[in-house]
């Protein structure tokens, strides 16, 4: 059976890609679905040379994988990956990304979450963006919208660019990263009216552990329903 692949992107850095991906992974586990999260490109590591986002995906994945398979391209400095690649003279090779994707698709999984880095138009070389590779691999996209002042513009720019690239935006999540955001519900309603893809759910700022578990199941169930509808 083919693996359901999803590329998880966001309106910006720190919009919550890893957090939402980890919730989806927890939800899939609660539903009894085999799922894993991977981080093809990361920048910023601990003293052991490991990236925190990749480690969090490993923590919540339903399949134990070696770190190098979860995060095949990793740079120590917490900067734009293509700039880190220039500094270290270790270029981001799309052939390496494609090989990693082929390997992930051979795993005994129902769902594979491929988390991007930064926002949608992440440069990976002088003329290429990670979005170009995502489009060529025909990966369906899940968008995390970091709910804060300015998110309407960021969200719609991202949605338009995803559509322009030929990718399918299958769903989005409203992740409330600013607890003081004015007119939060009005902003969410506005985005629901503007974005054709369904909203999997609204994740409040720092939900309690019990609420977080229920949210995880809700998000995973909503994405599963979309998968079943499209089959």
In this predicted structure, what is the pLDDT of residue 2? 82
pLDDT tens-place string over residues 139-177: 999 999 999 999 999 999 999 999 999 999 999 999 999
| CB 17 within 8 Å of CB 10 | yes
In this predicted structure, what is the pLDDT of residue 1? 58
Mean pLDDT within 28-44: 98
Place of tokens 């629901």: 192
pTM, two decimal places? 0.97
Please give the Cα distance from 93 to 25 (Å, whole number): 28
Q: Would you name the residues annotated as active-site residues?
A: 39
Q: From its phi and psi, is residue 206 left (phi > 0), alpha (psi between -120 and 50) or beta?
A: left
- Over its C-alpha atoms, the chain yields an Rg (Å, rounded) of 17
Q: Which CATH class is domain 4-230?
A: alpha beta
| CB 81 within 8 Å of CB 41 | yes
Q: How does the average pLDDT of the chain come out, rounded?
A: 97
pLDDT tens-place string over residues 156-165: 999 999 999 9
Closest CA to 67 of 47, 89, 88, 48: 48
């Amino acid at each position: 059976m083919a693996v359901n692949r999803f590329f998880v992107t966001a309106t910006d850095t720190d919009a919550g890609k890893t957090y939402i991906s980890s919730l989806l992974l927890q939800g899939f586990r609660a539903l009894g679905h085999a799922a894993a999260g991977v981080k093809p490109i990361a920048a910023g590591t601990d003293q052991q040379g490991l990236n925190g986002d990749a480690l969090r995906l490993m923590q919540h994945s339903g399949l134990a994988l070696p770190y190098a398979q979860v995060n095949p391209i990793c740079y120590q400095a917490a900067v734009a990956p293509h700039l880190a690649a220039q500094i270290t003279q270790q270029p981001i090779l799309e052939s390496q990304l494609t090989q990693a994707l082929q390997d992930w698709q051979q795993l005994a999984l129902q769902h594979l979450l491929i988390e991007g880095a930064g926002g949608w138009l992440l440069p990976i070389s002088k003329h290429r963006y990670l979005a170009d590779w995502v489009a060529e691999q025909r990966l369906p996209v899940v968008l995390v919208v970091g709910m804060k002042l300015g998110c309407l513009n960021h969200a719609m720019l991202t949605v338009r660019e995803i559509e322009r690239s030929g990718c399918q935006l299958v769903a989005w999540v409203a992740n409330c990263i600013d607890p003081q955001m004015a007119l939060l519900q009005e902003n969410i309603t506005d985005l629901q009216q503007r974005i054709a893809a369904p909203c999997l759910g609204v994740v409040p700022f720092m939900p309690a552990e019990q609420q977080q578990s229920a949210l995880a199941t809700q998000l995973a169930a909503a994405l599963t329903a979309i998968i079943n509808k499209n089959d």
